[in-house]
Protein backbone atom coordinates (compact mmCIF):
# COMPACT_ATOMS: atom_id res chain seq x y z
CA UNK A 1 0.00 0.00 0.00
CA UNK A 2 1.01 3.58 -0.59
CA UNK A 3 4.22 4.95 -2.10
CA UNK A 4 7.74 3.52 -1.69
CA UNK A 5 8.99 6.72 -0.06
CA UNK A 6 6.38 6.61 2.68
CA UNK A 7 7.97 6.99 6.10
CA UNK A 8 8.15 3.92 8.25
CA UNK A 9 6.91 3.61 11.74
CA UNK A 10 9.79 3.19 14.15
CA UNK A 11 8.69 3.11 17.75
CA UNK A 12 11.39 4.53 20.01
CA UNK A 13 9.92 4.02 23.41
CA UNK A 14 10.08 0.48 24.80
CA UNK A 15 6.38 0.55 25.63
CA UNK A 16 5.42 1.47 22.07
CA UNK A 17 7.81 -1.13 20.70
CA UNK A 18 6.20 -3.73 22.92
CA UNK A 19 2.74 -2.64 21.82
CA UNK A 20 3.75 -2.64 18.16
CA UNK A 21 4.90 -6.26 18.47
CA UNK A 22 1.71 -7.47 20.12
CA UNK A 23 -0.84 -5.28 18.34
CA UNK A 24 0.41 -2.90 15.66
CA UNK A 25 -2.41 -0.42 16.16
CA UNK A 26 -0.14 2.65 16.46
CA UNK A 27 1.48 1.56 13.20
CA UNK A 28 -1.92 1.38 11.54
CA UNK A 29 -2.79 4.89 12.67
CA UNK A 30 0.67 6.16 11.65
CA UNK A 31 0.28 4.69 8.19
CA UNK A 32 -3.28 5.86 7.62
CA UNK A 33 -3.51 9.33 9.15
CA UNK A 34 0.01 9.97 10.38
CA UNK A 35 3.35 10.78 8.83
CA UNK A 36 3.35 7.40 7.07
CA UNK A 37 0.75 8.45 4.50
CA UNK A 38 2.13 10.57 1.65
CA UNK A 39 -0.47 12.96 0.25
CA UNK A 40 -0.30 15.25 -2.80
CA UNK A 41 1.12 18.59 -1.76
CA UNK A 42 -1.47 20.64 -3.64
CA UNK A 43 -4.78 19.69 -1.97
CA UNK A 44 -7.07 22.68 -1.52
CA UNK A 45 -9.68 23.27 1.17
CA UNK A 46 -12.26 21.14 -0.63
CA UNK A 47 -10.22 18.18 0.59
CA UNK A 48 -11.12 19.03 4.18
CA UNK A 49 -14.63 17.79 3.84
CA UNK A 50 -13.93 14.08 4.15
CA UNK A 51 -12.36 14.57 7.55
CA UNK A 52 -15.18 16.94 8.47
CA UNK A 53 -17.71 14.23 7.63
CA UNK A 54 -15.87 11.93 10.02
CA UNK A 55 -15.93 14.62 12.72
CA UNK A 56 -19.66 15.10 12.15
CA UNK A 57 -20.26 11.37 12.51
CA UNK A 58 -18.40 11.31 15.82
CA UNK A 59 -20.48 14.27 17.05
CA UNK A 60 -23.67 12.50 16.07
CA UNK A 61 -22.68 9.31 17.85
CA UNK A 62 -21.68 11.10 21.06
CA UNK A 63 -24.77 13.34 21.27
CA UNK A 64 -26.99 10.49 20.10
CA UNK A 65 -25.83 8.01 22.71
CA UNK A 66 -26.45 10.50 25.51
CA UNK A 67 -29.84 11.49 24.10
CA UNK A 68 -30.82 7.83 24.03
CA UNK A 69 -30.28 7.71 27.79
CA UNK A 70 -33.23 10.07 28.22
CA UNK A 71 -35.41 9.37 25.22
CA UNK A 72 -38.34 6.92 25.36
CA UNK A 73 -39.21 5.16 22.07
CA UNK A 74 -42.89 4.73 22.72
CA UNK A 75 -45.57 6.49 20.70
CA UNK A 76 -47.43 7.54 23.84
CA UNK A 77 -44.51 9.32 25.46
CA UNK A 78 -41.88 9.92 22.77
CA UNK A 79 -42.88 13.54 22.14
CA UNK A 80 -43.08 14.28 25.85
CA UNK A 81 -39.73 12.64 26.51
CA UNK A 82 -38.12 14.91 23.93
CA UNK A 83 -39.64 17.92 25.68
CA UNK A 84 -38.38 16.48 28.97
CA UNK A 85 -34.88 16.45 27.46
CA UNK A 86 -35.31 20.04 26.30
CA UNK A 87 -36.52 21.35 29.63
CA UNK A 88 -35.48 19.14 32.52
CA UNK A 89 -32.34 17.24 31.53
CA UNK A 90 -29.18 19.16 32.38
CA UNK A 91 -27.82 20.55 29.12
CA UNK A 92 -30.53 18.53 27.36
CA UNK A 93 -31.45 21.37 25.03
CA UNK A 94 -27.84 21.50 23.92
CA UNK A 95 -27.70 17.77 23.24
CA UNK A 96 -30.86 17.79 21.23
CA UNK A 97 -30.11 20.92 19.23
CA UNK A 98 -26.58 19.68 18.59
CA UNK A 99 -27.85 16.31 17.36
CA UNK A 100 -30.58 17.79 15.14
CA UNK A 101 -28.32 20.46 13.63
CA UNK A 102 -25.44 18.01 13.59
CA UNK A 103 -27.41 15.94 11.11
CA UNK A 104 -27.72 19.00 8.88
CA UNK A 105 -24.02 19.75 9.21
CA UNK A 106 -23.19 16.14 8.38
CA UNK A 107 -25.35 16.06 5.27
CA UNK A 108 -24.11 19.48 4.15
CA UNK A 109 -20.50 18.45 4.54
CA UNK A 110 -21.10 15.21 2.66
CA UNK A 111 -22.83 17.06 -0.17
CA UNK A 112 -19.78 19.27 -0.54
CA UNK A 113 -17.57 16.18 -0.32
CA UNK A 114 -19.54 14.55 -3.14
CA UNK A 115 -19.47 17.73 -5.23
CA UNK A 116 -15.69 17.84 -4.74
CA UNK A 117 -15.52 14.28 -6.07
CA UNK A 118 -17.64 15.22 -9.09
CA UNK A 119 -15.52 18.23 -9.93
CA UNK A 120 -12.11 16.64 -9.55
CA UNK A 121 -13.06 13.27 -10.99
CA UNK A 122 -12.26 11.44 -7.76
CA UNK A 123 -14.75 8.74 -8.75
CA UNK A 124 -12.63 7.62 -11.67
CA UNK A 125 -10.08 4.87 -11.88
CA UNK A 126 -8.25 3.94 -9.76
CA UNK A 127 -10.66 5.20 -7.05
CA UNK A 128 -13.92 3.58 -8.20
CA UNK A 129 -14.20 1.48 -5.05
CA UNK A 130 -13.73 4.57 -2.88
CA UNK A 131 -16.62 6.18 -4.71
CA UNK A 132 -18.88 3.10 -4.58
CA UNK A 133 -18.37 2.82 -0.83
CA UNK A 134 -19.07 6.55 -0.59
CA UNK A 135 -22.44 6.11 -2.27
CA UNK A 136 -23.19 3.26 0.16
CA UNK A 137 -22.36 5.59 3.05
CA UNK A 138 -24.62 8.25 1.55
CA UNK A 139 -27.55 5.81 1.30
CA UNK A 140 -26.99 4.67 4.88
CA UNK A 141 -26.88 8.28 6.03
CA UNK A 142 -30.17 9.06 4.34
CA UNK A 143 -31.80 6.07 6.01
CA UNK A 144 -30.36 7.05 9.37
CA UNK A 145 -31.43 10.68 9.07
CA UNK A 146 -34.93 9.73 7.98
CA UNK A 147 -35.43 7.35 10.89
CA UNK A 148 -33.93 9.82 13.33
CA UNK A 149 -36.41 12.46 12.25
CA UNK A 150 -39.27 10.13 13.10
CA UNK A 151 -38.14 9.68 16.71
CA UNK A 152 -39.45 12.93 18.29
CA UNK A 153 -42.88 11.86 17.04
CA UNK A 154 -44.02 15.27 15.94
CA UNK A 155 -46.42 15.90 13.08
CA UNK A 156 -43.69 15.94 10.41
CA UNK A 157 -42.11 12.84 11.94
CA UNK A 158 -45.34 10.94 11.62
CA UNK A 159 -46.43 12.22 8.24
CA UNK A 160 -42.93 12.00 6.83
CA UNK A 161 -42.84 8.35 7.84
CA UNK A 162 -46.26 7.87 6.32
CA UNK A 163 -45.19 9.41 2.99
CA UNK A 164 -41.80 7.72 2.75
CA UNK A 165 -42.99 4.25 3.65
CA UNK A 166 -45.84 4.92 1.24
CA UNK A 167 -43.28 4.74 -1.58
CA UNK A 168 -43.18 1.01 -1.15
CA UNK A 169 -46.87 0.71 -1.90
CA UNK A 170 -46.08 1.94 -5.43
CA UNK A 171 -44.45 -1.43 -6.14
CA UNK A 172 -46.98 -3.32 -8.26
CA UNK A 173 -48.71 -6.25 -6.58
CA UNK A 174 -46.76 -6.78 -3.38
CA UNK A 175 -46.16 -3.11 -2.52
CA UNK A 176 -48.82 -2.71 0.12
CA UNK A 177 -47.81 -5.96 1.81
CA UNK A 178 -44.19 -4.80 1.96
CA UNK A 179 -45.21 -1.46 3.39
CA UNK A 180 -47.26 -3.02 6.15
CA UNK A 181 -44.44 -5.45 6.90
CA UNK A 182 -41.87 -2.65 7.13
CA UNK A 183 -44.06 -0.54 9.38
CA UNK A 184 -45.37 -3.39 11.50
CA UNK A 185 -48.88 -2.03 11.00
CA UNK A 186 -51.13 -0.20 8.60
CA UNK A 187 -49.82 3.20 9.64
CA UNK A 188 -46.76 4.35 11.56
CA UNK A 189 -47.28 3.55 15.22
CA UNK A 190 -45.47 2.10 18.18
CA UNK A 191 -44.09 -0.86 16.23
CA UNK A 192 -42.63 1.44 13.58
CA UNK A 193 -41.25 3.89 16.14
CA UNK A 194 -39.50 1.12 18.05
CA UNK A 195 -37.85 -0.44 15.05
CA UNK A 196 -36.82 2.96 13.73
CA UNK A 197 -35.16 3.69 17.05
CA UNK A 198 -33.35 0.38 17.03
CA UNK A 199 -32.09 0.93 13.47
CA UNK A 200 -31.28 4.57 14.08
CA UNK A 201 -28.98 3.49 16.86
CA UNK A 202 -27.44 0.71 14.76
CA UNK A 203 -26.81 2.35 11.39
CA UNK A 204 -24.23 4.99 12.46
CA UNK A 205 -21.96 2.16 13.56
CA UNK A 206 -22.49 0.45 10.23
CA UNK A 207 -21.57 3.77 8.60
CA UNK A 208 -18.44 3.91 10.75
CA UNK A 209 -17.54 0.45 9.47
CA UNK A 210 -18.07 1.40 5.83
CA UNK A 211 -15.99 4.55 6.36
CA UNK A 212 -13.10 2.34 7.42
CA UNK A 213 -13.46 0.42 4.16
CA UNK A 214 -13.78 3.75 2.28
CA UNK A 215 -10.49 5.01 3.69
CA UNK A 216 -8.80 1.66 3.27
CA UNK A 217 -9.78 1.67 -0.40
CA UNK A 218 -8.58 5.27 -0.72
CA UNK A 219 -5.15 4.49 0.69
CA UNK A 220 -4.39 1.95 -1.99
CA UNK A 221 -4.08 4.48 -4.84
CA UNK A 222 -3.70 7.43 -2.47
CA UNK A 223 -5.62 10.73 -2.61
CA UNK A 224 -6.54 12.47 -5.80
CA UNK A 225 -5.64 16.17 -6.12
CA UNK A 226 -6.90 19.34 -7.84
CA UNK A 227 -4.95 18.68 -11.03
CA UNK A 228 -6.17 15.09 -11.22
CA UNK A 229 -2.65 14.16 -12.34
CA UNK A 230 -1.08 11.07 -10.76
CA UNK A 231 1.65 11.40 -8.18
CA UNK A 232 4.94 10.93 -10.04
CA UNK A 233 7.51 11.07 -7.29
CA UNK A 234 8.41 12.02 -3.78
CA UNK A 235 8.52 15.74 -4.57
CA UNK A 236 4.78 15.62 -5.37
CA UNK A 237 3.73 14.60 -1.87
CA UNK A 238 4.00 15.65 1.75
CA UNK A 239 3.41 13.40 4.78
CA UNK A 240 -0.19 13.58 6.01
CA UNK A 241 1.06 14.54 9.44
CA UNK A 242 1.83 17.34 10.20
CA UNK A 243 0.88 18.96 6.88
CA UNK A 244 -2.71 17.87 6.47
CA UNK A 245 -3.49 17.39 10.13
CA UNK A 246 -2.70 21.11 10.42
CA UNK A 247 -4.78 22.03 7.40
CA UNK A 248 -7.67 19.83 8.52
CA UNK A 249 -7.42 21.53 11.91
CA UNK A 250 -8.36 24.80 10.23
CA UNK A 251 -11.34 23.10 8.60
CA UNK A 252 -12.42 21.57 11.89
CA UNK A 253 -12.25 24.98 13.57
CA UNK A 254 -14.40 26.56 10.88
CA UNK A 255 -16.81 23.62 10.99
CA UNK A 256 -17.38 23.96 14.72
CA UNK A 257 -17.79 27.71 14.42
CA UNK A 258 -20.62 27.35 11.90
CA UNK A 259 -22.07 24.47 13.90
CA UNK A 260 -22.05 26.57 17.10
CA UNK A 261 -23.75 29.50 15.37
CA UNK A 262 -26.56 27.19 14.31
CA UNK A 263 -26.95 25.38 17.62
CA UNK A 264 -26.82 28.42 19.87
CA UNK A 265 -28.37 31.15 17.77
CA UNK A 266 -30.65 29.56 15.20
CA UNK A 267 -31.37 26.02 16.40
CA UNK A 268 -34.75 25.81 14.69
CA UNK A 269 -33.79 27.56 11.46
CA UNK A 270 -33.58 24.30 9.50
CA UNK A 271 -36.45 22.57 11.27
CA UNK A 272 -40.16 22.70 10.58
CA UNK A 273 -42.58 24.28 13.08
CA UNK A 274 -45.04 21.41 12.66
CA UNK A 275 -42.61 19.07 14.35
CA UNK A 276 -43.31 20.89 17.60
CA UNK A 277 -46.87 19.57 17.37
CA UNK A 278 -47.31 16.04 18.67
CA UNK A 279 -48.04 13.41 16.02
CA UNK A 280 -51.73 13.14 15.24
CA UNK A 281 -52.84 10.50 12.72
CA UNK A 282 -56.18 12.28 12.32
CA UNK A 283 -54.84 15.66 11.26
CA UNK A 284 -52.80 15.99 8.07
CA UNK A 285 -50.47 19.02 7.94
CA UNK A 286 -51.13 21.52 5.14
CA UNK A 287 -47.72 20.77 3.57
CA UNK A 288 -45.76 17.64 4.26
CA UNK A 289 -42.12 18.43 3.58
CA UNK A 290 -39.01 16.46 4.46
CA UNK A 291 -35.86 17.92 5.97
CA UNK A 292 -33.91 20.28 3.68
CA UNK A 293 -31.36 17.67 2.69
CA UNK A 294 -34.00 15.48 1.06
CA UNK A 295 -35.77 18.27 -0.81
CA UNK A 296 -34.08 17.79 -4.22
CA UNK A 297 -35.05 14.12 -4.25
CA UNK A 298 -38.54 14.95 -3.03
CA UNK A 299 -38.87 17.40 -5.94
CA UNK A 300 -37.93 14.65 -8.39
CA UNK A 301 -40.54 12.38 -6.82
CA UNK A 302 -43.25 15.01 -7.14
CA UNK A 303 -42.38 15.93 -10.72
CA UNK A 304 -43.93 12.83 -12.23
CA UNK A 305 -47.50 14.03 -12.30
CA UNK A 306 -48.91 12.01 -15.20
CA UNK A 307 -49.09 8.31 -15.99
CA UNK A 308 -46.81 7.55 -18.90
CA UNK A 309 -46.76 4.38 -21.00
CA UNK A 310 -48.10 1.62 -18.80
CA UNK A 311 -46.46 2.91 -15.61
CA UNK A 312 -48.49 5.00 -13.12
CA UNK A 313 -47.18 8.45 -12.16
CA UNK A 314 -46.47 7.42 -8.57
CA UNK A 315 -44.30 4.48 -9.61
CA UNK A 316 -42.40 6.71 -12.06
CA UNK A 317 -41.75 9.13 -9.24
CA UNK A 318 -40.49 6.47 -6.86
CA UNK A 319 -38.30 4.84 -9.51
CA UNK A 320 -36.87 8.21 -10.48
CA UNK A 321 -36.21 9.20 -6.90
CA UNK A 322 -34.29 6.04 -6.12
CA UNK A 323 -32.75 6.11 -9.57
CA UNK A 324 -31.44 9.62 -9.05
CA UNK A 325 -29.21 8.30 -6.27
CA UNK A 326 -28.48 4.82 -7.57
CA UNK A 327 -27.16 6.22 -10.84
CA UNK A 328 -24.21 7.53 -8.87
CA UNK A 329 -23.02 3.92 -8.59
CA UNK A 330 -22.47 3.85 -12.34
CA UNK A 331 -20.73 7.18 -12.64
CA UNK A 332 -17.19 5.78 -12.98
CA UNK A 333 -18.32 3.97 -16.11
CA UNK A 334 -20.61 6.65 -17.51
CA UNK A 335 -17.75 9.11 -17.65
CA UNK A 336 -15.08 7.69 -19.94
CA UNK A 337 -12.87 10.76 -20.13
CA UNK A 338 -9.29 9.94 -19.11
CA UNK A 339 -8.92 13.42 -17.58
CA UNK A 340 -10.02 13.62 -13.96
CA UNK A 341 -10.07 17.25 -12.92
CA UNK A 342 -12.82 19.44 -14.40
CA UNK A 343 -10.30 22.29 -14.38
CA UNK A 344 -9.00 20.75 -17.61
CA UNK A 345 -12.41 19.84 -19.02
CA UNK A 346 -13.88 23.07 -20.42
CA UNK A 347 -17.26 21.64 -21.45
CA UNK A 348 -17.84 19.23 -18.60
CA UNK A 349 -17.14 22.06 -16.19
CA UNK A 350 -19.98 24.13 -17.63
CA UNK A 351 -22.46 21.27 -17.46
CA UNK A 352 -21.37 20.51 -13.90
CA UNK A 353 -22.03 24.12 -12.96
CA UNK A 354 -25.51 23.81 -14.46
CA UNK A 355 -26.05 20.60 -12.49
CA UNK A 356 -25.18 22.37 -9.25
CA UNK A 357 -27.71 25.13 -9.95
CA UNK A 358 -30.17 22.50 -11.07
CA UNK A 359 -29.95 20.68 -7.73
CA UNK A 360 -30.48 23.99 -5.89
CA UNK A 361 -33.59 24.63 -8.00
CA UNK A 362 -34.81 21.13 -7.19
CA UNK A 363 -34.23 21.86 -3.51
CA UNK A 364 -36.33 25.00 -3.76
CA UNK A 365 -39.12 23.22 -5.62
CA UNK A 366 -39.09 20.34 -3.14
CA UNK A 367 -40.05 22.69 -0.35
CA UNK A 368 -42.33 25.02 -2.29
CA UNK A 369 -46.07 24.95 -2.81
CA UNK A 370 -47.10 22.76 -5.75
CA UNK A 371 -48.45 25.60 -7.87
CA UNK A 372 -48.08 25.30 -11.65
CA UNK A 373 -44.99 27.52 -11.87
CA UNK A 374 -43.09 25.43 -9.30
CA UNK A 375 -44.19 22.12 -10.77
CA UNK A 376 -42.98 23.21 -14.20
CA UNK A 377 -39.65 24.33 -12.77
CA UNK A 378 -39.29 21.00 -10.98
CA UNK A 379 -40.05 19.02 -14.11
CA UNK A 380 -37.50 20.88 -16.20
CA UNK A 381 -34.89 20.61 -13.44
CA UNK A 382 -35.54 16.86 -13.04
CA UNK A 383 -35.16 16.42 -16.80
CA UNK A 384 -31.77 18.06 -16.66
CA UNK A 385 -30.70 15.98 -13.67
CA UNK A 386 -31.22 12.70 -15.51
CA UNK A 387 -30.04 14.05 -18.84
CA UNK A 388 -26.85 15.29 -17.21
CA UNK A 389 -25.75 11.96 -15.79
CA UNK A 390 -27.25 9.53 -18.26
CA UNK A 391 -27.01 11.33 -21.60
CA UNK A 392 -24.79 14.43 -21.55
CA UNK A 393 -21.95 13.09 -19.44
CA UNK A 394 -21.34 9.88 -21.45
CA UNK A 395 -21.50 11.89 -24.66
CA UNK A 396 -19.33 14.79 -23.59
CA UNK A 397 -16.67 12.60 -22.02
CA UNK A 398 -15.95 11.28 -25.50
CA UNK A 399 -16.39 14.39 -27.62
CA UNK A 400 -14.71 16.95 -25.39
CA UNK A 401 -11.17 18.15 -26.03
CA UNK A 402 -9.41 18.58 -22.69
CA UNK A 403 -6.94 21.39 -21.99
CA UNK A 404 -3.26 20.47 -21.74
CA UNK A 405 -2.47 18.82 -18.41
CA UNK A 406 0.55 19.72 -16.30
CA UNK A 407 3.13 16.97 -16.44
CA UNK A 408 3.25 16.68 -12.68
CA UNK A 409 1.78 18.05 -9.50
CA UNK A 410 5.05 19.80 -8.75
CA UNK A 411 4.99 21.54 -12.09
CA UNK A 412 1.46 22.76 -11.48
CA UNK A 413 2.39 24.01 -8.02
CA UNK A 414 5.41 25.87 -9.30
CA UNK A 415 3.48 27.33 -12.22
CA UNK A 416 1.04 28.75 -9.71
CA UNK A 417 3.93 30.50 -8.00
CA UNK A 418 5.20 31.82 -11.35
CA UNK A 419 8.20 29.51 -11.42
CA UNK A 420 9.21 26.55 -13.54
CA UNK A 421 10.51 23.22 -12.40
CA UNK A 422 13.93 24.11 -13.81
CA UNK A 423 14.17 27.38 -11.95
CA UNK A 424 14.07 25.61 -8.61
CA UNK A 425 15.12 22.00 -8.88
CA UNK A 426 15.81 21.61 -5.16
CA UNK A 427 12.21 21.77 -4.04
CA UNK A 428 11.94 21.14 -0.33
CA UNK A 429 9.68 18.36 0.71
Partner 1 sequence: MVRTIALLIGAAFVAALGFALFGTIKTAITDPAPESAEHVFHVHPEDIGLKSAGLLGKFDLQQVQRGFQVYKEVCSACHSLKYVHFRDLTKIGYSAGQVKAIAEAWVIEQPTINPETGEAATRKNVPADPFPSPFANEIAARAANNNALPPDLSLITKAREDGSNYVHALLMGYRDQPAELVKDFPGSKTPKGLHYNPAFANLNIAMPPPLTQDGQITYADGTKATKDQMARDVAAFLTWSAEPNLESRHGAGLATVVFLAIFLFLVWGAYQNVWRDQKH
Residue 219 annotated in ligand binding:
yes
Stretch that binds ligand HEM, among 22-30, 79-87, 114-122, 379-387 (CB under 6 A): 114-122
Q: Is 228 in the site for ligand HEM (CB under 6 A)?
A: no
Catalytic residue among 104, 124, 236, 248: 248
Q: Is 126 in the site for partner 1 (CB under 8 A)?
A: no
Residue 113 annotated in ligand binding:
yes
Catalytic residue among 236, 274, 291, 358: 291
291: annotated active-site residue = yes
Q: Is 158 in the site for ligand HEM (CB under 6 A)?
A: no
Beta bridge pairs of residue 278: 154
Q: Is 157 in the site for partner 1 (CB under 8 A)?
A: no
248: annotated active-site residue = yes
Stretch that binds partner 1, among 5-13, 41-49, 103-111, 121-129 (CB under 8 A): 41-49
Residue 84 annotated in ligand binding:
no
Catalytic residue among 7, 70, 84, 219: 219
Stretch that binds ligand HEM, among 120-128, 345-353, 385-393, 411-419 (CB under 6 A): 120-128
Stretch that binds partner 1, among 157-165, 170-178, 207-215, 320-328 (CB under 8 A): 320-328
Please report, as ranges, the residues that interact with partner 1 according to CB under 8 A. 41-43, 80, 83, 86-87, 93-94, 97, 238, 242-243, 246-247, 249-250, 252-254, 256-257, 260-261, 263-265, 267-268, 273-274, 276-277, 286, 303-306, 308-309, 311, 313, 316, 320, 323, 327, 330, 333-334, 336, 371-372, 375-376, 379-380, 382-383, 386-387, 389-391, 394, 413-414, 417, 427-429
Active site residues: 219, 223, 247-248, 291
Residues of each annotated binding site for heme b: 99, 113, 200, 214
Residues of each annotated binding site for a ubiquinone: 219
Amino acid sequence: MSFPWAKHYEPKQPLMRWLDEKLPLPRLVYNSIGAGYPVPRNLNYWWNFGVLAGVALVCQIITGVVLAMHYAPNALVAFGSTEHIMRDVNGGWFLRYAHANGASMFLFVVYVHIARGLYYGSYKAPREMVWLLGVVIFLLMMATAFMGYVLPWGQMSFWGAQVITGFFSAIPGVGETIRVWLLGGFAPDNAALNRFFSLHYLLPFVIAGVIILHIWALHIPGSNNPTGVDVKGEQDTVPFHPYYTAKDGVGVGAFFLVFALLVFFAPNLLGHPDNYIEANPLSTPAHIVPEWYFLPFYAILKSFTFNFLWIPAKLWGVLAMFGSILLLFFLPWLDSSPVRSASYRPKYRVFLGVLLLDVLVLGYVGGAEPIARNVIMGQIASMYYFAHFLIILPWISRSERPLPLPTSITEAVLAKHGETAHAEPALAH
